[in-house]
Structure 1
Amino acid sequence: MKIIRLIFFIVHIGIAFLLVGTILNAYIPPKTFPWLNLLSLGFPVLMIAYVVLTLFWIISWKKRAFVFLLFGLLFFKPVIRWINYTPQKNETPDLKIISLNAKGGLYGKENIESFVNAQNPDVIFLQEYGANKKYHFNKLKDRPESHIITIFSKYRIVEQKQLIESDYEYNNAYASQTDIEIKGKIYRFINVYLQPFKFQKNMVKLNGNSEEDEQKVKDVVKRLIPTFKMHQEQIIAIRKSIDESPYPVILAGDFNSVPNSYEYYHLPEGLQDAFVEAGKGSGTSFHDYKFPIRIDYIFSSPSIKPLSYKVDRSVRLSDHFPVIATFKFEK
Structure 2
Amino acid sequence: MKGLKLGSKIIFVINSLAAFLLLISYVLPYVPPKSFASLSVLSLGVPLLILLNAIFFVYWLLRVKKQMLLSLVVLLLGWSYINSMYKFSSSSDVKDDANFSVMSFNVRLFNRFDWLPRKTIKEDILKFIKSEEPDILCLQEYRSGDPISLDGYYDFNARYTEGIKSGQTIFSKFPIINSGSLEFPNTYNNAIFVDIVKQTDTLRVYTFHLQSSGIETDVEKLKKETSGHLFKQVRSTFRAQQDQVELFLDHKSKSNYKTIITGDFNNTPYSYIYRMIKGDEFNDTFEAAGNGFGRTYDFKFFPLRIDFILADESFTVNGFKTFDVKLSDHYPIKTTLSLP
Same fold (TM over 0.5): yes
Structure 2 counterpart of 1:250: 260
Cα offset, 1:290, TM superposition: 4.7
- How far apart are 1:185 and its partner, in Å? 0.4
Give the structure 1 partner of residue 310 of structure 2. 299
- Amino acid of the residue matched to residue 143 of structure 1? F
Distance 2:25 2:332 in 1: 27
Amino acid at match of 1:155: F
- Offset at residue 176 of structure 1 (A): 1.8
SS at match of 1:35: helix
Pick one of 110, 121, 132 that aligns with 2:134: 121
Q: CA deviation at 1:182?
A: 0.7
1:148-193 CA-partner distances (Å, limit 9, x unpaired): 101000111121122234x5xx323211221111111011101111
Which amino acid counterpart does residue 24 of structure 2 have in structure 1? G
How far does residue 234 in structure 1 lie from its aligned partner after superposition?
0.7
Give 1:171's aligned residue. 187
Paired residues of 1:86 and 1:277 also in contact (CA < 8 A): no
SS in 1 for 2:14: helix
Q: CA deviation at 1:37?
A: 2.1
Superposed, 1:12-91 pairs within 5 Å as 12-89=15-92, 91=94
Which structure 2 segments of 5+ residues have no match?
Answer: 112-119, 158-163
Please tell me whether the aligned partners of residues 107 and 142 of structure 2 are also in contact (alpha carbons under 8 angstroms): yes
Question: 1: CA distance between counterparts of 2:232 and 2:171?
Answer: 36
Partner residue in 1 for 2:226: 216
Partner of 1:155: 174
Query: Is 1:131 the counterpart of 2:144 in the alignment?
Result: yes
Q: In structure 1, what is the equivalent of residue 202 of structure 2?
A: 186
Question: For 2:203, what is the secondary structure of its paired residue?
Answer: strand
Q: In 2, distance between residues paired with 1:124 and 1:230?
A: 26
Q: Which residue number corresponds to residue 105 of structure 1?
A: 110
Asked whether the equivalents of residues 56 and 71 of structure 2 are also in contact (C-alpha less than 8 Å), the reply is no
1:206-263 deviation digits (Å, cap 9, x = unpaired): 55xxxxx5x5322222211100001111111222233332111100011111220111
The aligned counterpart of 1:323 is 333
Give the conservation status (yes or no) of the 8 Å contact 1:25–1:36. yes
Letter in 2 for 1:15: A
Name the SS of the counterpart of 2:176 in structure 1: strand
**Secondary structure of 1:320's match?**
coil
- Tell me, in whole angstroms, the C-alpha distance in 2 between the residues paired with 1:288 and 1:12: 24
Distance 2:169 2:228 in 1: 35
Bigger drift between 284-293 and 32-41 goes to 284-293
Give the Cα–Cα distance (whole angstroms) in 2 for the partners of residues 205 and 102 of structure 1.
22
Q: Which moved more, 1:85-94 or 1:232-241?
A: 85-94
**Which residue does 1:286 correspond to in 2?**
297
Q: State TM-score, norm by structure 1.
A: 0.90
Aligned Cα root-mean-square deviation (Å): 2.0
For 1:63 and 1:203, how far apart are their aligned partners in 2? 37
Going from structure 1 to structure 2, the CA distance change for 1:290 and 1:139 (only over 3 Å counts) comes to: farther
Residue 261 (structure 1) aligned with residue 276 (structure 2): no
d(CA) in 2 for partners of 1:12, 1:260: 21
Task: State the alpha-carbon separation in 2 of the partners of residues 77 and 201 from structure 1.
Answer: 27
Equivalent residues of 1:24, 1:36 under 8 A apart: no
Cα displacement (A) at 1:140: 1.1
- For the 8 Å contact 1:142–1:152, the answer to whether it is kept is yes
Q: Hey, what does 2:6 align to over in structure 1?
A: 3
User: Between the two proteins, what is the percent identity of the paired residues?
Assistant: 28
Paired residues of 2:261 and 2:309 also in contact (CA < 8 A)? yes
CA 328–85 in structure 1, closer or farther in 2 if over 3 Å, else same: farther
